[in-house]
Amino acid sequence: MKPADSNRPVKDGADAVLSVAGLGVGYFPEKGRRLEVVGGVDLDLRAGRTVALVGESGCGKSITAAALGGLLPPGMVRDRGEIRWRVGGDCSPGRGLAYVFQDPGECLDPVFTIGSQIREALPRAERRGAGKRLDRLLRTVGFEDPERVLASYPHQLSGGMQQRAMLAMALAGRPRVLVADEPTTALDVTVQAKILRLLAELQQLEHLAVLLITHNLAVVAEIADEVLVMYAGRIVEAGPVHILGNPRHPYVNGLLKALPQLGTGPARLEGIAGTVPPLGRRPPGCRFHPRCPLAQPVCREREPPLNGPGDGHRAACWVREAEGPT
Amino acid sequence: MNAPLLMVENLRVTYPAGRRHVTAVRGATFTIERGRCLGVAGESGSGKSSLARGLLGLETHVAGRVVFDGQEVLKLDRAGRLRFRRRAQMVFQDPLGSLNPRMKTGAALAEVLRVHGLVATRAETERQVARWLETVGLDGAYANRFPHELSGGQRQRVNLARALCVGAEFLVADEPVSALDVSVQAQVLNLLKSLQETRGITWMLIGHDLAVMRHMADEVMVMKDGAILEQGPAADVLARPAHPYARELLAAVPDVGRALARRRPGATVSD
């Protein structure tokens, strides 16, 4: 962690590449009925920094990521808040914003070579005679034999190599923002470690703003600068990554206690009672209150705002807020 | 100390590939004591699942010896194999893929009980189904649910109930929690552990998550390319691995505590 982090105002989006304010996505199962998939998401992505959006399945993290590039699945609409680019130039998806997804094998077309697929991702004007650029792109993502890889078909590459190729493709359009949605979840741990290291290198080298979507708190702790924890469509805790050592929200606290860690040994884990409420059955007030060990009457009635003592660490919890800063 | 429940000697598992054979497990030797949990750690292609299938007699091209409670597993006749299958069961990673989507939970359990001739009447079946659901922490009402009506954790509980209800003493769990969310994973891991403690179940836990291993296993083996590179007490292997690959694997595991300590302001940066 760089020392400058602690004084950096998190709310102020002045130096952000991309700012998201009050983002909400609705799902319309039938006419006139709106179910909120995610709501009230504020997000600032800065060049050279990694923000992690972490949560369990169904919390809305991938939907938030998809909303940034207009990639929402049918039936879902981004109908709240705004997404603002703070830089000039072409910021459309594939140019300003690039994605890497969980399963590289499914993103690559099996009947075309890696070379032809990356070439296709280049801006049109650069495609002719792009040999040098392709070569450089592949070296950037860690290939030592670009020619062989460019001529390969996806099935000839391992999962880790496929993900490197996807990264090369994402970088082809010189994006400002890279959204990586579970980029290492399908990979083996040693390969995961390499891809995470590569992501961190690329972020510095290309001055990328990275939004990392993951369910894995340990991956967040390894490479993120900032972390946002989502639960049932809301951000419940946010701040510099070291807040994971001292979480304020009972949900985040519970998640960390439920996580087997190398250092804790065979101690009994504390699971979180109950399950994540499905869309459409999310409770009023604080969405975590039915599972929360600290729940008070107010938690059932009013939704807590995402607040903090001003050091960038914010949590949406009535009980913690009443306790004051820890 | 009585004899180990499972003794595996020089087990080899191969798969025919054209005229040649691909060797998935090259000579595994180990034992598991009664009521203990052996963790088998390795990455994809390391042979850990082939090892499990091989010792359960689920593979055809197997050489070596597997002795389960004094019996040679690989030489059992049909009746003996059926008895062995009752005592040694397997639980898989994908809890939905392991359940018939058109069969209610109760019917799935009842079928297994009937096949193994463990129940005679309908009333007895219902009683047994309710009892096993309760054992894995599910209310009896879940017998009337279809798999798609259950959460991932609940489905894995049903799979466990199905494995246990035939009287299994030895369970091989292949990545039993890697498809589950953290909060649910903890609940299932706690269940596995309490089954070990209260019912004396002997486990072989296969996985890639070394933190889960550290939490569950008494002994650990590290596999790569079909060979066992290191084996020993979990506290040793996962804290001070001797083999270079085991060290690499351990260093590659993302870990919240370790990462935050490394990245603390003022901490020396080492990679």
C-alpha distance from A173 to closest chain B C-alpha (Å) = 30
Mutation target to probe the B interface, by most B beta carbons within 10 A, among A262, A279, A281 is: A262
pLDDT at site B152: 87
pLDDT at site A94: 60
B186 and A272 within 8 Å at the Cβ level: the answer is yes
Torsion sign over Cα B24, B27, B32, B36: negative
How confident is residue A9, by pLDDT bands cut at 50, 70 and 90?
very low
Q: Are A75 and A248 in contact (CB under 8 A)?
A: no
Q: What percent of chain B lies above the pLDDT cut of 90?
A: 80
CA A315 to each of CA A44, A229, A306, A320: distance values in angstroms, whole numbers, following the listed order: 17, 9, 5, 8
Which chain B residues touch A190 with a CB distance below 8 Å? 43, 248-249, 252
Report the alpha-carbon distance of residue A211 to residue B198 in Å, rounded.
45
Q: Residue A315 falls within a domain, yes or no?
A: yes
User: pLDDT higher for B227 or B181?
Assistant: B227
Cβ contacts of A299 within 8 Å, gap of 6 or more: A285, A286, A289, A292, A318, A319
Residue B13 has pLDDT above 60, yes or no: yes
Residue A245 sits at the chain B interface (C-beta within 8 Å): yes
Q: Are B260 and A221 in contact (CB under 8 A)?
A: yes
Q: Where are the beta strands (DSSP E) in A15-164?
A: 18-30, 33-45, 50-54, 76-85, 97-100
A56 and B183 within 8 Å at the Cβ level: the answer is yes
C-alpha distance from B216 to closest chain A C-alpha (Å) = 6
Q: What percent of chain A lies above the pLDDT cut of 90?
A: 69
Which chain A residues touch B212 with a CB distance below 8 Å? 260
How confident is residue A90, by pLDDT bands cut at 50, 70 and 90?
low
Structural domains of chain B, with CATH: 6-94+168-263 (3.40.50.300)
Report the alpha-carbon distance of residue A256 to residue A250 in Å, rounded.
10
CA B7 to each of CA A203, A268, B71, B78, B167: distance values in angstroms, whole numbers, following the listed order: 50, 29, 10, 21, 20
Residue A10 has pLDDT above 80, yes or no: no
Q: Residue A322 falls within a domain, yes or no?
A: yes
What mean pLDDT do residues B220-232 have?
96
Residue A216 sits at the chain B interface (C-beta within 8 Å): yes
What mean pLDDT do residues A87-93 have?
63
What mean pLDDT do residues B119-144 have?
93
Within chain A, residue ranges assigned H as helices are 61-68, 104-107, 114-121, 131-140, 146-150, 159-172, 189-205, 217-223, 250-258, 297-301, 318-323
When CB atoms are compared, the residue of A57, A190, A264 closest to B249 is A190
Q: Residue A214 falls within a domain, yes or no?
A: no
Q: Residue A86 falls within a domain, yes or no?
A: no
Q: Residue A323 falls within a domain, yes or no?
A: yes
A263 and B263 within 8 Å at the Cβ level: the answer is no
Cβ contacts of A214 within 8 Å, gap of 6 or more: A52, A53, A54, A61, A182, A185, A220
C-alpha distance from A258 to closest chain B C-alpha (Å) = 5
A269 and B43 within 8 Å at the Cβ level: the answer is no
Q: Is B139 left (phi over 0), alpha (psi -120 to 50) or beta?
A: beta
Q: Residue A146 falls within a domain, yes or no?
A: no
**Torsions phi, psi for B133 (to 5 deg):** -60, -40
Residue A83 has pLDDT above 80, yes or no: yes
**Tokens encoding A65:** 């990521």
Number of domains in chain A: 1
Mutation target to probe the A interface, by most A beta carbons within 10 A, among B236, B260, B268, B270 is: B260
Q: Between chain A and chain B, how many beta carbons pairs sit less than 8 Å apart?
A: 129
Residue B106 has pLDDT above 70, yes or no: yes
Residue B83 has pLDDT above 50, yes or no: yes
**Tokens encoding B8:** 């595996």
Q: Are B188 and B180 in contact (CB under 8 A)?
A: yes
Residue A188 has pLDDT above 80, yes or no: yes
Report the alpha-carbon distance of residue A42 to residue A315 in Å, rounded.
13
Q: Residue A12 falls within a domain, yes or no?
A: no
The tens digit of pLDDT for each residue in A154-183 reads: 999 999 999 999 999 999 988 999 999 999
Mutation target to probe the B interface, by most B beta carbons within 10 A, among A194, A259, A270 is: A259
Residue A64 sits at the chain B interface (C-beta within 8 Å): no
pLDDT at site A4: 41
Residue A2 has pLDDT above 80, yes or no: no
pLDDT at site A125: 85
Interface of B with A (CB under 8 A): 43-44, 151, 153, 181-187, 189-190, 193, 208-212, 214-216, 234-235, 238, 248-260, 263-265, 271
How confident is residue A184, by pLDDT bands cut at 50, 70 and 90?
very high
The tens digit of pLDDT for each residue in A266-286 reads: 778 888 888 888 888 899 999
Q: B-contacting residues of A 151-190, CB under 8 Å?
A: 188-190
Residue B155 has pLDDT above 50, yes or no: yes
pLDDT at site A13: 56
Residue A113 sits at the chain B interface (C-beta within 8 Å): no
ipTM confidence score:
0.86
* Containing structural domain, residue A322: 245-326
Residue A219 sits at the chain B interface (C-beta within 8 Å): yes
When CB atoms are compared, the residue of A188, A222, A271 closest to B183 is A271
Residue A1 has pLDDT above 80, yes or no: no
pLDDT at site A203: 92
Which chain A residues touch B215 with a CB distance below 8 Å? 260, 264-267, 269
Q: Residue A317 falls within a domain, yes or no?
A: yes
What mean pLDDT do residues A182-187 have?
91
